[in-house]
Each structure stands twice: as C-alpha cells, then as structure tokens.
Copies of this chain bind each other. A is one copy, B any other.
C-alpha cells in the first residue's frame, strides 16, 4: 500500500480495525502495509487506543503470544449506552405507536441500520468477557439486532426458522410453547448450522413470557450447545416470572396503557450504570 505518515497510519489502522471488530490483526500486517517499523506501529496503536477510549468510541486490545496482535473492541460505556437508550425510549413512547391489542409498532426502529448497530454493540458489550461461538436468533424481527451483535463479537449469526427449508439440508425441529400466544409452534435449524458443543448467545428483539428464548435453549441443547446468555432489546416487566431465568434486556417495557394512550419504557439500569 506504500509508505505512510503517522497521521495516515492512525487513520487507516482505525478504519481497518473498526471495520472488523474483535478480529486480530498482527503488527506485521500493518508494518508491511504501511512500510513502517513495528515500533512505529506500536506507538500508533498507543495513540489510537487512548484517543478512542477518551472519546468513548471503543478501545483497542493487545493480544500477546504467537497468535498475537491487536483488535478493535466496540465497547460501549454505560454513559454512552444510557444516552443512546434514552433516545430510543423517547421514540418508542410516542402514543401513535400503540396498535390494536396493546402492541407497539417498532418495526422502523428495529430495522434502522444505525440504531440496530448501536444496539448490537451495547448487547455485545455485556458479553465481551464470555467465550461465544455464535449468536442465534429466531426469524424475523430479531435478525437485524442479532446480526449487529454477531458483527461486534466477530462470530457467525445463526437464524432459527419457523419451518424447515429444502435449501438447508437435514434439520432439527422442536415444538415450543409461545408464551404470549399460548400456542404450540415449531422451530427448526439446519444440522450444519451449529457445531456440537458450541457456546451460544441468544439475541431477540422482544421478550414477554420468554417462550421463544426457552425454545431456542432447548434447540441448542439438541446440538449439545451451551447457552452463555440471552440478550433482548425489550423485556416486559409483566409477567415478572418468565420461563427463562437469566436474560439481559436493554429496555424494560413497564406499561402500555391503551386507554390513556401511554407507553412507559426505560433503559435497564444495569446497563447504563457504571459499576
């Protein structure tokens, strides 16, 4: 790519690293690409890391050893998460979003690329210290958030289907009780989609009783996988007693008052408070 000055190197380094979060690049890679000494690249990284952290734009981690190098981690600080999630709540509280049956229209928000990217980064930030091989979601509405979470963690996304498809080869199907509709439904997943014994993060857009998440847990179990966590955009406060025990919502839906046309929704304080 040709010899580069420090300010160009820092710009290029940040662009390359942040385009592929959690992907390790060796110092050699940058040293060759920019025709600069490894010691210069090391100094570039110190400057870039400090700046990113000070501006709450994520961080750069150094991995020692033979497979070592540096990677960009899209860590969202509680402060920035709070600022963003308050904005999302403001949007969601619009009474025009109340649908017949007390549902909230949120399709525009959960398929806005810039919003779901930040949601994915906040979710990923909660599970950065866990070993995760896959992010899994059930079609359809959770896919954008789950994809962005998978991107931030640098792992493949796996999409559970409502029916088995001819294009996916042999599948494993299970029946599950959808808590909200109280109906038996089917979910299925291609045998090829998950390696046995994989560590999995479940991501979805909405959780009421938790039936869908529980179904995914059972399905992952069929693949001898291990559920490392459940992250959702919104969990309802009621029922408090959900069929899954541990889950991490970005937002709590406190109440949808159809009569007075009022929605009460708030960020999860565990995410927006510094520990």
Contacts and interface: CB of A to CB of B under 8 A. Distances in A.
Nearest to A115: B156
A215 to B, nearest CB: 17
A168 B19 contact: no
Contacts of A111: 147, 150, 156-159
Interface in A125-181: 139-141, 143-144, 147-148, 150-151, 154, 156-159, 161, 166-169
Contacts of A148: 113
A14 B11 CA distance: 6
Contacts of A55: 1, 12
Interface stretch (A45-53, A221-229, A236-244, A247-255): A45-53
Contact of A54 (B2, B10, B193): B2
Contact of A14 (B14, B54, B150, B156): B14
A12 B51 contact: yes
A8 to B, nearest CB: 4
Interface stretch (A82-90, A98-106, A196-204): A98-106
Contact of A168 (B20, B57, B107, B151): B107
With most chain B CB atoms within 10 A of its CB, the pick from A108, A147, A161, A193 is A147
Contacts of A10: 7-8, 10-11
8 contacts: A7-B7, A12-B57, A15-B18, A105-B169, A105-B190, A113-B150, A113-B157, A114-B154
Given A6-B7, A12-B55, A140-B140, 7 more contacts: A4-B51, A8-B10, A15-B52, A103-B166, A112-B156, A113-B148, A143-B144
